[in-house]
Structure 1
Amino acid sequence: MIESEKYLLNANDVVDLLGVKRPTAYKIIRDANIRLAKAGKLTIRGKINKHYLLKMLDVSEV
């Protein structure tokens, strides 16, 4: 599979993207997935949609 753009980020990706420690990355993913689940959206444990994460953090595309 050719990976042109990752849509789902794991904790290591969040660490690289935001410069936080791994436990913080897991907390960010967990909190975001709780929000998405309450909104009736499908979530995948340990993964977060890149665009949703950037929107949640009010950051434009990196």
Structure 2
Amino acid sequence: MTLIKVDEVAKICNVKQQTAYALIAKINKEMEEKGYLVIKGRVNKEYLLKRFGIGETKEDASN
């Protein structure tokens, strides 16, 4: 698990820092609702990429 800060979220999502903070808060809220512990101001990179549909999928890996 990799936790990333607002700068990296902004870069990945191509948004300003203010929007990145809002995304972090939303993702962390989702994770808390699923029973995960979260750290304010940081987000799980893998979960963020999954939610945005970014990165390798199982179909991509099999090709």
Q: TM-score, normalised by structure 2?
A: 0.81
Deviation at 1:30, TM superposition (A): 0.1
Q: How many residues align?
A: 56
Matched, 1:16 2:11: yes
> Which of the pair is proportionally richer in helix?
2
Please, what is the CA RMSD of the aligned residues?
A: 1.4
The answer for unaligned runs of 5 or more in structure 1 is 1-5
State the match for 1:40 in structure 2.
35
Aligned partner letter, 1:22 = Q
Structure 2 gaps of 5+ residues are 57-63
Percentage of pairs with the same residue: 36
